[in-house]
Structure 1
Amino acid sequence: MQNFVFIVGLAVFAANLPFFSEKVFFFFKPKQENKAFAFRFAELLLLYFIVGLIAYWQEGRFSPVHQQNWPFYATTFALFVVFAWPGFVWRYFWRKPGI
């Protein structure tokens, strides 16, 4: 149960990271003033795979890893996007332009 809570908490945290940073992939300053949504989406994909690898590693430590097919990845990515909703709302709906 603790591993499940850890992975879900990590996923919620990671899903919101792209919306709280103006640096591209957290290291590079973009040429324009604000980071484009395409970069935020690319970061979201990268963080999805990183969290997935951590979850795969955690599962492998305690039991045999179950084989997954495409519906599993489609569902978990959709859930990851739902976890990103608070950061998206904060970035695009609540913030005043220029902040």
Structure 2
Amino acid sequence: MSAAGWFIVLLALVGANLPFANQRLFAVVPMKAAKKSAWIRIGEMIVLYFIVGAFGFMLEARAGNRFEQGWQFYAITFSLFVVFSFPGFAFQYLVKRR
């Protein structure tokens, strides 16, 4: 795997955990509510999935060998994105705080 491939994997790992890392929208916009709801976090994950995917397509096109993908590719990569988000989910919802 090339360096660009590993960079996309690391970017996906960071992007998948970003909604769970703080209480701001996309880690920039402050929220009026004290805590973000789970639906907002899911929406952030979907938007970040498309951002990381667009960046991956850009790197692939820049390398000169962009391939067409079917629905199976997107289903698998979104599932992988959800799996990548588990550390952030566990920290946000499963770790007990005093």
- State the TM-score, normalized to the length of structure 2: 0.91
Paired position in structure 2 for 1:12: 13
Matched residue SS, 2:69: coil
Partner of 1:90: 91
Give the Cα–Cα distance (whole angstroms) in 2 for the partners of residues 25 and 44 of structure 1: 9
Task: Tell me the SS of whatever aligns to 2:97.
Answer: coil
Letter of the 1:17 counterpart? L
The Cα of 1:64 is off from its aligned counterpart by 2.7
Structure 1 ranges of 4+ moved more than 2 A? 24-32
The aligned residue for residue 68 of structure 2 is 67
Aligned to 1:48: 49
TM-score when scaled to structure 1?
0.90
Query: Deviation digits for residues 1-23 of structure 1, max 9, x if unmatched?
Result: 11111110111011100001201
Question: Identity across aligned pairs (percent)?
Answer: 40
Unpaired stretches in structure 1, ≥5 consecutive residues: none
Q: How far off its partner does 1:69 sit?
A: 1.0
Unpaired stretches in structure 2, ≥5 consecutive residues: none
Q: CA deviation at 1:25?
A: 3.1
Q: For 1:64 and 1:56, locate their aligned partners in 2 and report how far apart those are by CA, in whole Å.
A: 10
Aligned length: 97
The offset of 1:96, in angstroms, is 1.5
Query: Hey, what's the Cα distance between the residues in 2 that align with 1:31 and 1:2?
Result: 40
CA distance in 2, matches of 1:93, 1:27: 24
CA-atom RMSD, angstroms?
Answer: 1.3
